[in-house]
Amino acid sequence: MRSELESGPTSTNTYVRRAVLELQCYTWAKLPFSTCGLNGKKCFLVTFPAVDLMPRTLEGQITMEKTPSYFVTKEAPARISSMSKGTKLIVVVRDPVTRAISDYTQTLSKKPDIPTFESLTFKNRTTGLIDTSWSAIQIGIYAKHLENWLLYFPIGQILFVSGERLISDPAGELGRVQDFLGLKRIITDKHFYFNKTKGFPCLKKAEGSSKPHCLGKTKGRTHPDIDQEVVQRLRDFYRPFNMKFYQMTGQDFGWD
């Protein structure tokens, strides 16, 4: 079985699915590698007994699975590697400060009573000590998570997609994804238009339809205003980790 795993915005998955339109594409958007206690293929099959019933991935087909939390799940690399060492991994990353605020905004939309972003950020506001145990902060330490993956996968088997460029140059970024997956470049500039109201690119035509397709209502939520001193403190906190991440991936994401 040849499989690809993707961690990051759901819509990237949608775009990739369009890129593999001519191929058969299965998507299992569940958590087989992060939630069950067993290893590798066994773990996958326990969570997905139906996998046995599915046709095998044949030449010319791609099997995809998409779960954002894999990238930060300690057990995921070993489990995935033990199921299929050749799995290609795609991770969408964005500025960790914006990511933290976005994460907080999403939680706030579900639980309006949570404390402020500023109070959750610090262990001690006076000393400026950041609370790295808060998941919104912890997830953005990409270099640390990547170290864990590199114990099981070579760096060339992981593609890092820039969340920022996915907005400013979707076709360019999707071009990299198509190349990485060994696909013909089907998705190009002509498939997108920029929707100013949404602030995101949209597909001119949705899959199997003649109508445009934009991101859903829950994407691109307005972020709350955060105290600029706190934002600066977070920028300082992430800088060394970002630099290490650029070094490890050989890509400058331009987050400073």
Ligand X SMILES: Nc1ncnc2c1ncn2[C@@H]1O[C@H](COP(=O)(O)OS(=O)(=O)O)[C@@H](OP(=O)(O)O)[C@H]1O
Could you say which residues in the range 14-73 bind ligand X, by CB under 6 A?
68
- Residue number with CB closer to ligand X (9 or 77): 9
Radius of gyration over every alpha carbon of the chain, rounded to an integer in angstroms: 19
Give min distance, CB of 102 to ligand X, in A: 3
For the residues of the chain, what is the DSSP string, one character each? --EEEEES-HHHHHHHHHHTTTS-EEEE-S-HHHH-SS-HHHHHHHH-GGGGGSPPPPTT-EEEEE-GGGGG-TTHHHHHHHH-TT-EEEEEE--HHHHHHHHHHHHHHH-TTSPPHHHHHEEETTTTEE-TTSHHHHTT-HHHHHHHHHTTS-GGGEEEEEHHHHHH-HHHHHHHHHHHTT------GGGEEEETTTTEEEESS-TTSSS-B---TTSSPPPPP--HHHHHHHHHHHHHHHHHHHHHHT------
Tell me if 140 contacts ligand X by CB under 6 A.
no
Q: Is 233 one of the annotated binding-site residues?
A: no
Q: Does 10 bind ligand X (CB under 6 A)?
A: yes
Chosen residue from 34, 73, 102, 121 binding ligand X by CB under 6 A: 102
Closer residue to ligand X in complex, CB, 39/98: 98
* 125 annotated ligand-binding residue: no
Shortest Å distance, C-beta 166 to ligand X: 4
Q: Is 163 in the site for ligand X (CB under 6 A)?
A: yes
Burial profile 86-107: b = 16 or more Cβ within 10 angstroms, e = fewer: ebbbbbbbbbbbbbbbbbbeee
Question: Given the complex with ligand X, which of 106 and 119 has the nearer CB atom?
Answer: 106
CB nearer to ligand X: pick between 10 and 39: 10
> Is 79 labelled as part of a ligand binding site?
no
Of 80-88, 122-130, 133-141, 215-223: span binding ligand X (CB under 6 A): 215-223
Total residue count of the chain as it appears in this document: 256
Cβ distance to ligand X smaller for residue 158 or 166 = 166
Considering only 62, 64, 136, 215, the residue that binds ligand X (CB under 6 A) is 215
9 part of the interface to ligand X, by CB under 6 A: yes
Is residue 221 a contact point for ligand X (CB under 6 A)? yes
CA distance 16 to 213: 14
Of 80-88, 149-157, 213-221, 247-255, the segment contacting ligand X by CB under 6 A is 213-221
166 binds ligand X (CB under 6 A): yes
Least CB distance to ligand X at residue 175 (A): 14
| Binding residues vs ligand X (CB under 6 A) | 9-12, 68, 102, 105, 163, 166-167, 215, 219-221
Q: Would you list which residues are annotated within the binding site for 3'-phosphoadenylyl sulfate?
A: 94, 102, 219-223
